[in-house]
Amino acid sequence: MSNYAAPPLVARAFRLALRNVDGMMTALILPVILMLMFVYLFGGAIETGTRYVDYVVPGVLLVCVGFGSGTTAVTVANDLAGGIIDRFRSMDVRGEALISGHVVASVARNLVSAALVIAVAFAIGFDPHANPGHWLAAAAILALFVLALSWLAAAIGIVARSPEAAQGIAFLVSFIPYVSSAFVPVRTMPAALRTVARNQPATAVIDTVRASLNGGHVGVDAWHAIAWSLAIIVVSIVLSGVLFRRRAR
């Protein structure tokens, strides 16, 4: 099969990502707006026991990479809806290679968004108590979750019948972080929501990143975050493979 597929497809994915105006707006402007909005608009009304900017950074990180992954779902759906997929297949380019290219670009774009969130946070008084080891741990957990979201987005892009549908599904999925410890402490929620919030991946990732950045003890949350991410990655890759072959009939 085509061994040479990967590098040109990664280069293509980067080019398409950089020239996708909507996608780049989401990646570069949303982090700034959300960070400012949560801290200055809502922050004053939310009691978390710490300064709100120190509390909310991991939540904004997750919401941004969530929306950012939505762009990837649309991009993948676009590829499958257009004529180019037939050309790739008739050239023996494997679906995995095509999708992987988009996932690599998605991870890169989302990490840039994440860095922007951190930069804006510092500009408005973020004061973490993390040593380099803590930073590294937070970055690694976040990067792994970004990879998971990107694969999930690719799977959504394949399952959706059109770019519009992909956009819709991705939009719904990107609300998942709201039902977590992202913006308000879980203990303030009604019982049913609390159960959902405590047992979903966003909370595990957010709590791990928050604890790392504030120099606290990370504990079992880290393992939950890693397990969730790996599970999402495996399921999405398998699902992508199966769905891709089925779509490509």
Partner 1 sequence: MNEQIQADGLTKSYSGVRVLDGVGLRVAAGTVFALLGPNGAGKTTVVRILATLTAPDAGTARVAGHDVVADRGAVRRRISLTGQYAAIDELQTGRENLEMMGRLRGLGRRAARARAGELLERFDLTEAGDRRVSGYSGGMRRRLDLAAGLVGTPEVIFLDEPTTGLDPRSRQAMWGVVTGLAATGVTVFLTTQYLDEADRLADTIAVLDRGRVVAEGSARELKQRIGGARLDLQATDGESFDELIAAVRGRVIRGDRDTLMLGVATNGSASDARALFDEVDPDGTRIASFELRTASLDDVFLSLTGNRIHGYAAESEIAHV
Q: Which residues bind partner 1 (CB under 8 A)?
A: 1-2, 4-5, 7-9, 11-12, 15-16, 19-20, 82-84, 86-93, 248-249
Of 26 and 212, nearer to partner 1 (C-beta) is 26
Question: CA nearest 212: which of 127, 113, 131, 146?
Answer: 131
Of 88 and 244, nearer to partner 1 (C-beta) is 88
Question: CA nearest 124: which of 197, 216, 39?
Answer: 39
CA dist 88 and 151 (Å) reads 20
Q: Pull the structure tokens for residue 85.
A: 């997929």
Name the minimum Å distance from CB 31 to partner 1: 23
Name the minimum Å distance from CB 237 to partner 1: 22
Name the minimum Å distance from CB 248 to partner 1: 8
Of 49 and 83, nearer to partner 1 (C-beta) is 83
Of 93 and 118, nearer to partner 1 (C-beta) is 93
CA dist 233 and 227 (Å) reads 10
Of 7 and 125, nearer to partner 1 (C-beta) is 7
- How much is the CA Rg of the chain, to the nearest whole Å? 19
Burial class (CB in 10 A: 0-12, 13-18, 19+), 25: exposed
Query: What is the signed CA dihedral for 67, 159, 150, 102, rounded to 10 degrees?
Result: -110
Of 49 and 92, nearer to partner 1 (C-beta) is 92
C-beta atoms surrounding 50 within 10 Å:
12
Name the minimum Å distance from CB 147 to partner 1: 24
Place of tokens 């900017």: 53
Name the minimum Å distance from CB 90 to partner 1: 4
Name the minimum Å distance from CB 153 to partner 1: 19
